[in-house]
Amino acid sequence: MLNFNTLAWAAFCNYYRTCGDRPYIKLLADRQFISRLRFFPQEISPKEFEHKVLFGYVNVVNYDLLVGCKLAETVLATIDRLQPDITVLLASSITDIDIEDRALIDSIGRIYAELTTIQGLWITGASKIAHLLNDRLLPICGLDVIEHFQKISTGQTFDHRIWLKQIKHDAHLVIDDFHQSNHPSDTLEKYLSNKLGYQEKGVTKSVVKYLDEYYWLKYVEKITLPPNWVPDQLTIPIKV
């Protein structure tokens, strides 16, 4: 059952599985770059975008794709065209978005649709870039995770509205449980980010990102959360 405890275990396991989620944290900590990406993408050079986003974060390794398809230039031009949709969504998060607001949901749909049409990105790469445009609202959509939620994907069609509704439901579930568990009067995001050392690097991970980690570990990696055995204390015998 999804609750704050299982989400926290997923965050803990992901921290060590990814060595502190270094590429993601390094990118989100670069606030000046993230701000330019969201507001002034035309000011970012293709080389900078390749280095900071496509190599370390999206993990594109096909050189022919990068050069032949001018991937960085195409993505930046697409983000520039999407500025009206990106701007209208900046004040929203997964917990307060109105799923019935057709204009907002259409804006989200256009962002995913436009990025997904770029050759070489597919839904996973496209959604990782979309996530940078609003990490508190736009989720990463790994194909293996989406396949678990079969109702979200019909054939080749990705229903972003149903996906957002699922994530919003789960976000409120873990946040409500967090506040009922006698934790300090802090947000779930700040609490976990502080415990895992992300805030020391200038990043407060969103509940959207924490849920992405939970989905991946539970439904794709099939990891039991929490583990079947959790030692209170390990005693290591000392040879003398």
Q: Is residue 28 part of a domain?
A: yes
- pTM across the whole model: 0.90
- Helical residues (DSSP H) of the chain, grouped into ranges: 4-17, 22-29, 31-39, 46-49, 63-68, 71-81, 83-89, 102-116, 122-133, 143-148, 160-179, 188-195, 207-215
- Count of domains observed in the chain: 1
**DSSP, res 98:** -
Q: Is residue 227 part of a domain?
A: no
Q: Is residue 139 part of a domain?
A: yes
Cα–Cα separations (whole angstroms), residue 18 to 10, 73, 153, 180, 226: 12, 29, 28, 30, 18
Q: Is residue 60 part of a domain?
A: yes
What was the pLDDT predicted at 68?
A: 62
What was the pLDDT predicted at 142?
A: 80
Burial of 150 (0-12, 13-18, 19+ CB in 10 A): exposed
Q: Is residue 156 part of a domain?
A: yes
Cα(49)–Cα(58) distance, integer angstroms: 11
Q: Which residues of the chain have pLDDT under 50?
A: 239-240
Q: Is residue 162 part of a domain?
A: yes
What was the pLDDT predicted at 83?
A: 97
- Mean pLDDT over each residue of the chain, to the nearest integer: 89
Give φ, ψ of 153 to 5 degrees.
-115, 125
Q: Is residue 228 part of a domain?
A: no
Q: Is residue 233 part of a domain?
A: no
* Residue range of the domain that includes 82: 4-220
